[in-house]
Every structure is written in C-alpha cells, then in structure tokens.
Amino acid sequence: MLEFAILGLLQQSPMHGYELRKQLAEVLGGLRSISYGSLYPALKRLHAAGLVCTDEPDRRAPLPADAPPLTGRRGKVVYTITAEGKERFAELVSQAGPEAYDDGRLFGVHLAFFRHTAADVRLRILEGRRRTVERQRDGLRSSLARTRERLDRYTLELQRHGLDSVDREVRWLSELIDSERRDPGRQTGEGPEPPSGTD
Amino acid sequence: MLEFAILGLLQQSPMHGYELRKQLAEVLGGLRSISYGSLYPALKRLHAAGLVCTDEPDRRAPLPADAPPLTGRRGKVVYTITAEGKERFAELVSQAGPEAYDDGRLFGVHLAFFRHTAADVRLRILEGRRRTVERQRDGLRSSLARTRERLDRYTLELQRHGLDSVDREVRWLSELIDSERRDPGRQTGEGPEPPSGTD
DNA sequence: TCCCGATGTATCGTCCCGATACATCGACCG
DNA sequence: CGGTCGATGTATCGGGACGATACATCGGGA
C-alpha cells in the first residue's frame, strides 16, 4: 500500500522522506498521516528492490555496531523513482486487484492517482469498492435489525452512525461512478493507454 | 485496546475465542472484525497476566518443537474473566486516558461499554473525542482550502467526502454530549460509582 | 460413506504505528 | 557573537494488528 503511494508521489517529482510524508498525508485525505516508522522501512524496501534510488553516496550501509551511534554528518536524502519503479507503478495501477477494495486506505491511494489510471480500470475500482461497502452496509444493517433490542443506547448509536457513514459512502461512490460513466475519458492525463490506442 | 474489549465482553459471560470474535465485530460497529492473529495473542497475554483463566487443563504449554505439529486432540477453550481482570477493566474504564480519543476504534470500544462507565467519565470521553475529530476537521478543511486548485478532481472528491464524514461525526458527538448533559444518570447500570456515593 | 462447510484453535511473516534518539538549520534574543 | 528553540530531517525499536495458513472437529447432504 505505502509502496504504491510512495511510487505515485515520486513519479511526480523526487522528494525527501519528510516531504513525502506531508504529501502523503495530503493525498490520504488529511485525516491519517503516515508515521516515519512506516515510511523509512518502506523506502528501504523500495531501494532494496531497485524501484527508487538516492543521491546519497553510500553513507548508509557500513556503520558497525560498536561505532558511536551515527555521529557523522547525516544529510538529506532525496529519493528518485527509477525506470523499474515506474514500470512497477504502472503495473500496480492497472492491475488493481480485488484487495484494493477491502482496505479503504488502499482505495484512497488508488483514487488519488486516478489520473494515471485508465478509464476502464477506474470504473472497475470504483465498482469494486462500492460492492465492498455495500456488503458492509448490508451486514451492518441486518446486524442492527437483529440486535436492536439486546443492545444499549450507546452501542446502538455507534452502529447507527456507522451505518449512516457507509450508506453515505455508497451514495458518494455511486455519484462518482455515474459521472465516470457519463464522461469516461475525462482526465486520464498520462495513463499508459493513450485514447488513440484501441488495443 | 483489544484487551480492553475482550475484558468487557468476558465480563458479561465466559466465551470461546470464536464467539468472542463475533461479538467483537458486533460491538466494534460491524464494519471491521478482529482477526485471529490479533485475538489469540491477546488472549494469551491476558492469560499470562492472570486477567482471564481457561477451563482447559494444561494441554497448551508443553509440545516441544520436534513433535509432529499438534496432532493431539485440541478441544474448545472457554475463557473466563478473573477478579483481577474485573479490577483491571474497571480501572481502564474509569481512567480513560487521552489516548482513547485519537484512535477511533478505542473510542468505539469505550462507547460500547459506556453502561459500565460513570457519567462524568462518559462526558470526558465524548468531549475528548469531539475535540480530536474537530481538529481533524479543521486540518482537513484548511488543507482543502489551500490545495483546492492544485489537486485533481478525484483527490478533491476524496477530501470532500472525508471532510463531510468528520463533520458529521462532530455533529453526532455533539448530539450525544447534549443528551448526556440533559440526562447524566441515564443508564449507568453497574458502574463502579453508585449514584448515591458523592465521593 | 464420504466429503464439505461451519466451527474452532493457533502460528507465521509482514506491515504499520507511536515513541524515541539524533542531527541540521535558521531565527530570534541577550 | 553565541545560545537555544522550533522546524526540518533521518533512522530504529518494540509491539500490536493483520492476512494467510494449518490443523482439528462435527453435522448434514450427496
């Protein structure tokens, strides 16, 4: 998930971890920002996989355990996406497996990079997500109907509010889907499928 | 968090892990259910801490690494809360530190056990949560105002929807708080503070 | 009878998080 | 001129939660 988001951001321009985190928070909807404990390991994984590279020479690897803990100049590290990284990102964008629908955050990241996504894949993702949320809504609704008498006021309120939220999300997704259907080619931008290519 | 929820459920009646998971999903708002990878380690921690006990004799500990992987009868295990567990739960309920407000799930669990919670603590928790969500809302709102022109339609929609959600949550909390203020002693039930005790 | 799905317990590797430590830089102030 | 304070910036650690998976039991239908 995080890797996907990082690749998407680095595709736009090279960045520091710090900056990356801020952009990430912005893209993710502002409410939940990513922690450094997630970000740096993710960057390390991406670097190890050759999907990003750094301008930092090699001050990273050596450092034996007995050295005083990193009291050498620790400069900024700018991360840049590689050609493999771009390939991988395009792959992730176009595949959009069903796991993208269950996790709201992964869906959010996908949505944030929709301008890199082909119109048919966009529709697939939106509908998949709607299906997931609809299932949640139905489960919640029947659970609420089943347990209406057994539960106290607070639990009931919590479930009512939750049901209202998912219900609104379904409607929101439906609006997005409708608008997508009305005007499929809206702003694909730089997707891997130019509109002239009819496969 | 999970420990808190488990103790709260076991307080009502002893249960299997499987059953516990279903109840948990119900209490948590139905949308996100807990996985066994969380549940069983949590039960193990609680058992190690002496907060719950099992009816299972001791088929658990031995089993050296070279034995064929657990081909002995593995029966159901009923977990029961201990006296220490009840104490701990009452402690967690009444303390309700500020960390309860940041995490929506922890807040949800607290809310689900509000009938075990004293009225003043209830109010404190609700207001703390509202403050957290208000901050989220304000941050999101200003971020949206700042970036309105730079972002594409999809990201904007995502943020608009997110803002709408937190806004609704604030209003929902405000209604709960108002109703709580109007009628503080509503249904404390079995809280550790009987209404006659004026401290 | 035999298999299949629901029930049920348990672990593994992985991801993510909060807390923390450490380092650099500019600004403001004495 | 120097000091410190907050923003910027990199990095790790322990722990919690998750998905996937394995294993076991039991009832019912082909």
The pLDDT tens digits of the residues spanning A146-162 come to 778 877 888 889 889 98
Strand ranges in chain A using DSSP code E only, listed in sequence order: 52-54, 79-81
Q: Phi first, then psi: give them for residue B37, nearest 5 degrees.
A: -65, -20
List the single best residue of B106, B133, B161, B169 to mutate versus A (max A Cβ within 10 A).
B161
Please tell me which residue lies nearest to nucleotide C15, judged from CA to C1': A38
Of B111, B162, B168, the CB nearest to A29: B162
pLDDT digits 0-9 by tens, B172-187? 999 999 999 998 766 5
Residues 23-42 of B with CB under 8 A from A: 26-27, 29-31
Contact A154 B114 (CB under 8 A): yes
Choose among A108, A111, A155: nearest Cβ to B27.
A155
Which residues in chain B show pLDDT less than 70? 29-31, 56-74, 96-101, 185-199
A111 touches chain B (CB under 8 A): yes
Backbone angles phi, psi at B156, to 5 degrees: -60, -45
Tell me the per-residue pLDDT of A18-31, one tens digit each, with 9 for 90 and over. 999 988 887 776 66
User: For residue A29, what pLDDT is reported?
Assistant: 66
Chain B residue with the nearest C-alpha to that of A27: B155
Contact B187 A143 (CB under 8 A): no
Size of interface A-B (CB pairs under 8 A): 86
In the prediction, which pLDDT does A168 show?
94
DSSP letters spanning B88-153: HHHHHHHH--THHHH-HHHHHHHHHTGGGS-HHHHHHHHHHHHHHHHHHHHHHHHHHHHHTTTS-H
Q: Is the pLDDT of residue A43 over 80?
A: yes
What confidence score (pLDDT) does residue B155 get? Answer: 86
User: What pLDDT digit, counting tens, does each position of B115-139 carry?
Assistant: 888 898 899 889 988 988 888 888 8
| Residue A122 near residue A114, CB atoms below 8 Å | yes
Nearest to A192 by CA among A110, A101, A121: A121
- Indicate the residue type of B165: S
Give the residue-averaged pLDDT of A72-95: 84
Residue A71 (CA) to nucleotide C21 (C1'), in angstroms, measures 12
Amino acid at B103: D
Residue A125 near residue A98 (C-beta atoms within 8 A): no
Region A102-129: mean pLDDT is 86
Is residue B18 within 8 A of residue B122, CB to CB? The reply is no
Q: Which chain A residues contact residue B187 at CB under 8 A? A: 152-153
Query: Do residues B15 and B7 touch, judged by C-beta distance below 8 A?
Result: no
